Structure 1
Amino acid sequence: MRTHSGAGLMEAAQAAGQLIGGVGAYEAGKYNKAVAETEAVEAQNVGAADELRVREAARAAIGQQVAAQGSNGFAMGTGSAIDALQQSQINAALDAMQVRQEAKSRARALRIQGAIAKSQGDNALVQSMFGAASSTYRMQQDWASARRGSTPRPTSSGGSEGGGNALYEGP
């Protein structure tokens, strides 16, 4: 019988270990989600700063373009000179939009990564609960099986068939 109680303790320790592991995975998932959210916000901030730099660089380039047109004898702001300035502004706006879209995409990917980490933690916690419950159920079943045969057999009130101390052997 002593080996059985050792097995029961081992199963109880396994059930507790499963729960602890599940809680740890759950907490790690929550933490990783928070980290991913922080990184997503940072990616958006970096994207906004990059977009600002693109717009400032474009304004400086357009200013140089206007100055170059004037120094080359073009009538500034007319004809092909204005067309060149408009195209430069369009290109600058497209570059800024691309930078903003890339930052949004990075942030979205990080948030999805965080949501996946959180879901994995949630699933690990649920799985550990089922595993611990299953281990506990098996332990109870093993205990019940081990006790079978050691429970005193019920005696009838009027007889002495075999005495009142006989052990019930089970089915």
Structure 2
Amino acid sequence: MAEALSIGANIVKGVGGFVASRQQSKVLKRQAREEENAGALQSLRIREQARKVIGEQLAGQSSNGFMGGTGSALDALTESQANAALDAMTIIRDAGTKAKALRSEAKMKRTEGYFSLASGMLGAASSVAGMKDDWAQAGQGSSAQHQGGAS
């Protein structure tokens, strides 16, 4: 009876590890998508804010009597646009890097699940082999007693 419980426990442990790893992998993949979505949203916000600031700069230049969008005023606007674009790209890159790391971790979790399942099945097979060996030894011991008692 204990051997049968050992076989069942190994199988349950292996399947449980496999199922848990699949769930963890799904969660990590979902987090990766959320990171990318959050990065894209933050990038859009930066661009919107930059357009607002650039518009205010242009209006400020014109209100001070400068000819807006020319000379050093144009340089200031160009610099603001470049900085906003760099900030947006940095956020997208960082979100992509986090997402890639999460997907890599998800892949490792799935691999761990397969190893857990294989380990459980090997443990069950080992228990079965041990039971057969015990039965064989028990059978030899009882037949030897019967043979020894008959002589």
Question: TM-score, with normalisation over the residues of structure 1?
Answer: 0.81
Q: Report if aligned partners of 1:40, 1:111 keep a CA contact under 8 Å in 2.
A: yes
Structure of larger gyration radius:
1
Partners of 1:49 and 1:152 in 2: CA distance: 80
Residue equivalent to 1:94: 86
Corresponding residue to 2:106 among 100, 111, 114: 114
Residue equivalent to 1:33: 25
Tell me, which stretches of 5 or more residues in structure 1 are unaligned?
1-8, 154-165
Q: Does residue 60 of the first structure (1) align with residue 52 of the second (2)?
A: yes
Q: What SS does the aligned partner of 1:76 have?
A: coil
Closer, same or farther: CA 18–40 of 1 in aligned 2, 3 Å: same
Residue equivalent to 2:143: 151
Corresponding residue to 1:167 among 142, 147, 150: 147
Shift of residue 105 of structure 1?
Answer: 1.3
Question: Which 4+ residue blocks in structure 1 deviate beyond 2 angstroms?
Answer: 149-153
Tell me, which stretches of 5 or more residues in structure 2 are unaligned?
none
Q: 1:93-136, CA deviations, whole angstroms, 9 ceiling, x for partnerless residues?
A: 00000111111112112111211111111111001111111111
Shift of residue 74 of structure 1?
Answer: 1.7
Shift of residue 151 of structure 1?
Answer: 2.7
Q: How many residues align?
A: 149
State the identity %. 43
Question: TM-score, with normalisation over the residues of structure 2?
Answer: 0.92
Higher RCO (C-alpha under 8 Å, 6+ residues apart): 2
Q: Which AA in structure 1 matches 2:147?
A: L
Bigger helix share: 2
Q: What SS does the aligned partner of 2:141 have?
A: coil
